């Protein structure tokens, strides 16, 4: 590579890093959130825009922990899901149509988290594999219908991350394929997406009442 070519490549890499999030984004506007701070959150099964049918429950089953550790009461996801199904709502699409005041009445939830899984799964490109999980989440107050918070994040992991050696890459891709067929790798990466989505300074959820830092600005 010529000197100029190298410089250009570095320039593009730097631009990519800037676009990718190294520049601090503007803090989220928490006005509504602070006016209507929820104690409890019900997470409905997510809408699924990915091609993987298992995305809905593969992602849903990773959301309780980050929300609860943020200090909120989180309704039992499987019990809520079953309850809504038995009451004539067969899937996520129907559940997302329920008016928020109805969710307040039936469950007593202060807020509802509507999630759309936008990408979920693993792609194989020659000897590399890339797993992507992307989600859009909206937290809505059940008494007023106001949007309290929303976020959208993508998390991606390549089987060749951190490797420059072709043989190592080939082995890693093979191992990843084995892992991916026996387990749901996108499911296992979802907690890392959730850190980006829910727990980031100035963009994530505020602390809830069970957190020692409740009523303080997020870290």
Partner 1 sequence: MDPGHGGQMTRAVWRPAFLMLAAALAAGCVRPTLYSWGQYEELIYRSYAAPGAVSPEMQIEKLEADYQKARSENKPVPPGFHAHLGFLYFQLGKLDQAQQQLETEKAQFPESAVFMDRLLSNLRKN
Q: Which residues bind partner 1 (CB under 8 A)?
A: 39-40, 54, 57-58, 60-62, 64-65, 68-69, 71-80, 82-83, 106-110, 184, 187, 210-211, 219
Q: How far is CA 51 from the centre of its chain?
A: 17
Q: Please, what sign has the CA dihedral across residues 192, 193, 195, 196?
A: positive
Please state the closest distance from residue 202 (CB atom) to partner 1, in A: 16
Nearer to partner 1, 144 or 165 (CB): 144
Pairing of strands 147-158, 128-141: antiparallel
How many of the other CB atoms lie within 10 Å of CB of 153? 21
Q: Output the smallest distance, CB 16 to partner 1, in A.
A: 29
Instruction: Report which of 34, 71, 40 is spatially closest to residue 146, judged by C-alpha positions.
Output: 34
Question: CB-wise, 30 or 73, nearer to partner 1?
Answer: 73
Query: To the nearest whole angstrom, how small is the minimum distance from the Cβ of residue 158 to partner 1?
Result: 24
Q: In angstroms, give the least distance from the CB of 37 to partner 1.
A: 13
Closest to partner 1 by CB, 75 vs 158, is 75
* Closest to partner 1 by CB, 53 or 125: 53
Q: Which is nearer to partner 1, 69 or 150 (CB)?
A: 69
CB of 108 to partner 1, least distance (A): 3
- Cα(63)–Cα(70) distance, rounded to whole angstroms? 11
Alpha helices in the chain (DSSP H): 3-17, 31-35, 55-60, 64-69, 77-86, 92-95, 100-107, 166-182, 185-198
Degrees, nearest 5: CA angle 55-56-57: 95
């Amino acid at each position: 590579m010529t000197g100029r070519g190298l410089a250009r490549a570095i320039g593009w890499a730097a631009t990519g890093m800037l676009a990718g999030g190294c520049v601090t984004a503007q803090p989220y506007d928490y006005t509504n959130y602070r006016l209507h701070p929820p104690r409890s959150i019900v997470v409905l099964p997510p809408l699924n825009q990915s091609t993987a049918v298992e995305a809905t429950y593969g992602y849903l089953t990773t959301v309780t922990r980050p929300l609860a550790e943020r200090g909120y009461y989180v309704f039992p996801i499987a019990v809520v899901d079953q309850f809504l199904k038995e009451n004539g709502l067969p899937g996520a699409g129907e559940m997302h149509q329920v008016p928020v005041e109805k969710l307040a009445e039936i469950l007593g939830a202060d807020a509802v988290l509507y999630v759309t899984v936008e990408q979920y799964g693993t792609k194989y490109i020659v000897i590399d594999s890339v797993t992507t999980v992307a989600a859009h989440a909206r937290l809505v107050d059940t008494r007023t219908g106001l949007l309290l918070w929303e976020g959208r994040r993508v998390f991606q992991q390549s089987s060749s991350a951190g490797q420059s050696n072709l043989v190592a890459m080939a082995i890693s891709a093979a191992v990843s394929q084995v892992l991916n067929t026996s387990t749901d790798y996108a499911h296992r990466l979802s907690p890392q997406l959730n850190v980006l989505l829910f727990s980031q300074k100035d963009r994530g959820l505020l602390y809830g009442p069970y957190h020692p830092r409740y009523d303080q600005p997020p870290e």
